[in-house]
Amino acid sequence: MRLFLLTAMTMCAFAANSVLNRLAIDGGFSDPAGFAVIRILTGALVLSLLVLWQGGHLPVLNKRRLVGAGSLSLYMIGFSLAYLTLDAGLGALILFGVVQVTMFALAALTGAKPTTRQLAGAGIALVGLAYVLWPSGAVQVDAKGAVLMTSAGIGWAVYSLVGRSEPDALSGTAANFVAALPVTALVLFSLGSSWQMTAMGYVLAALSGGVTSGLGYALWYRVLPQLAPAAAAVVQLSVPIIAIAAGVVLLGERASLPLLLGTALVLGGIALAVARLPRR
């Protein structure tokens, strides 16, 4: 039960990131690049202060940062730039689809081959997510945006898998944020991204970075060693559903029948993939 609650809290934190991102960018309070940089900056500050307050240290120069911070930067850069040209729903579908495929493939290569039940559950949940997020009308996929979101999905999948071997979740996450900050900022603004932040944009980005990203990612690194790689991949399909539900409750968006049906498929698929069958 404790693992379930911690995992649920983590998924809610990830969903809150999506809501804060939508509020900031769709509301015109922030540009994607500025939001990403402030998000990483505040996450690095909050996590570093927590580590130092507990008497720990930041293993920034540890060789783990090459993969941890590198994959986090890849995710942040791809995610930020993709939504400039990609439909939000289709972008989320590409992101989480790529995360599933990458995590399942890498897990199989390292000896943690997913079971038939886990694959079936992931498939059902992904179909439900596609039913909810698929754009209405003609679908126009921007190739550049799709490639960027694919790279973001690969980055997040790698970041999740390497977290299973992180010895200290809090200090490891803090070090990843610190190391990823200059790389992410340099790449984003070298590609011509502009800085268009309002006061509300700074507030929303700071909340996302310091609370739902920083603390949420640290919590994710804490629960990852207790989850099978396949289960860790599948449970993340609940994030867009939680974010949409938050939009219904907080932003007054409409709860449609396709949303309810898709939610049932996603939750059913996750339950099938992560439930442990009784031993005979």
The tokens describing 190, both together, are 């070298």
What predicted TM-score, i.e. pTM, was given to this entire model?
0.88
154 close to 98: Cβ distance less than 8 angstroms: yes
Q: What is the pLDDT of residue 64?
A: 85
Domain segments of the chain as ranges:
2-274
DSSP-derived 3-state class of residue 278: coil
Question: According to the model, what pLDDT value does residue 202 have?
Answer: 95
At a CB cut-off of 8 Å and minimum separation 6, what does 153 contact? 75, 78, 94, 95, 96, 97, 98, 99, 102
What is the per-residue pLDDT for 280?
44
- The amino acid sitting at 247 is G
What is the Cα–Cα distance from 93 to 89, expressed in whole angstroms?
6
Token couple for 55: 């008497």
pLDDT at 139: 57
Q: CA 120, CA 128: separation in Å to the nearest integer? A: 12
Can you read off the two tokens belonging to residue 106? 């890498």
The pLDDT tens digits along the chain (280 residues) read: 788 899 999 999 998 888 888 888 888 899 988 999 999 999 999 999 999 998 888 888 888 899 999 999 999 999 888 877 777 677 888 888 899 889 988 888 877 788 888 889 889 998 988 888 876 665 566 788 889 999 999 999 999 999 888 889 999 999 999 999 999 999 988 887 778 899 999 999 999 999 999 999 999 999 999 888 888 899 998 998 888 888 777 766 677 777 788 889 898 989 888 876 444 4
Q: What tokens were used for 184?
A: 């992410």
* Alpha-carbon gap, residue 23 to 39, rounded angstroms: 14
DSSP 112: -
The per-residue DSSP string of 189-257 comes to: HHTT------HHHHHHHHHIIIIIIHHHHHHHHHHGGGS-HHHHHHHTTHHHHHHHHHHHHHS-----H
- The pLDDT assigned to 136 comes to 67
Residue 200 pLDDT: 95
